[in-house]
Amino acid sequence: MKFDLTKILRPHILNLVPYSSARDEYTGKEGIFLDANENPYQSVNGQHWNRYPDPYQWAIKQKLAPIKGVRPTQIFLGNGSDEPIDLLVRATCTPREDNMLLMPPTYGMYQVSADINDVPVIKVPLTADFQIDTPKVLVAITPKTKIVWICSPNNPSGNLVQREAILEILNHFQGLVVVDEAYIDFASEPSFTQELDNYPNLIVLQTFSKAWGLASLRLGMCFASEEIIKVLNKIKPPYNLSGATQQLLLEALDYVETKNQLVNDILAEREHLRTNLAALPLVKRIYPTDSNFLLVEFDDASAVMQYLIDQKIIVRDRSKVILCDGCLRITVGTAEENKTLLDTLKAFAIMA
């Protein structure tokens, strides 16, 4: 069966007339711009903030495409990757009618976006080692399933999901398969972006919030076929990335080497943290990770969490989440921060 995007999109999205501006027709930089009711004067330091930014961020996409090994037309940039997550739900799922499939424990925004849009969710939990239960997923999919969400490396468990399982779903499911790779720069395997030309139903999400250290800028990447990217462009708010954000990102893209060096530092620190946590008697288990965080099982997670908060150390309590009983999720910090965490856990162990 051939993938047909027109069967996946909500009918009214297919026929939607998007917002347009005069600069969709005139893309030159020079000219007298009297089309967008802007203020013709620059009010702050001679900067061009008085003008609307490029709605499609072409300068960034030209620079980002070779870094990611994709074509500029295969890129959508959003206000965090949470923006494309929500746009994908809205583009494909008719409320109370269509559904999407999640594999808990996983990133929370897929469920939240479903709830905001009143879209039912089918849940097929991961296996005990946080891998896809492929036979169960394939059986659970219905004709109304529009999106299967896969997070790899998975949040909150940290591990990569087996490549073969993702390929099997891509091969057997005719809806959209979203592979959320927010943590891929910390992983030991390559991105699924290299499969984009083989699978028209594949969507890969990445973010500048983690390895790139730009969480405050709110910048998410979505890679997919040109056809899918066109749909996202059609339904996004016209100027979803500010001019300031675009300017900062364009500069940041010159720092790929710095980003890679920081990733290496974090990976070294991750192993140091893992070894030292494993030596603590109150730690029961540390799950394998391909991310910048560790899922750690404690004898008494709630007591540890409370003690850490009292010492102004904030980690994420995942102890009530399916398959994560007794677990805290701990982000790898600086060497100094990790040392303080370890010292604090040792102090707790003495007290307890």
Interface ranges with ligand PMP (CB under 6 A) = 80-82, 107, 151, 155, 180, 182, 207, 209, 215, 220
Nearest CB to ligand PMP, comparing residues 109 and 196:
109
Minimum CB separation of residue 350 from ligand PMP in Å reads: 33
Instruction: Report the interhelical angle of 243-252 vs 58-68 (nearest 10°).
Output: 30
C-alpha to C-alpha distance for 314 and 320, rounded to whole angstroms = 17
Nearest CA among 163, 186, 180, 176 for reference residue 220: 180
Structure tokens of 190?
Answer: 């390559």
Nearest CB to ligand PMP, comparing residues 88 and 151:
151
Q: Which residue is nearest to ligand PMP (CB)?
A: 80
How far does Cα 186 stand from its chain's mean position?
13
Nearest CB to ligand PMP, comparing residues 151 and 224:
151
Minimum CB separation of residue 44 from ligand PMP in Å reads: 27
Nearest CB to ligand PMP, comparing residues 5 and 109:
109
Residue 213: CB atoms within 10 A of its CB come to 16
C-alpha to C-alpha distance for 114 and 95, rounded to whole angstroms = 9
Nearest CB to ligand PMP, comparing residues 70 and 345:
70
Minimum CB separation of residue 143 from ligand PMP in Å reads: 28
Amino acid found at 231 = V
Minimum CB separation of residue 154 from ligand PMP in Å reads: 8
C-alpha to C-alpha distance for 46 and 224, rounded to whole angstroms = 38
Minimum CB separation of residue 242 from ligand PMP in Å reads: 15
Residue 38: CB atoms within 10 A of its CB come to 12
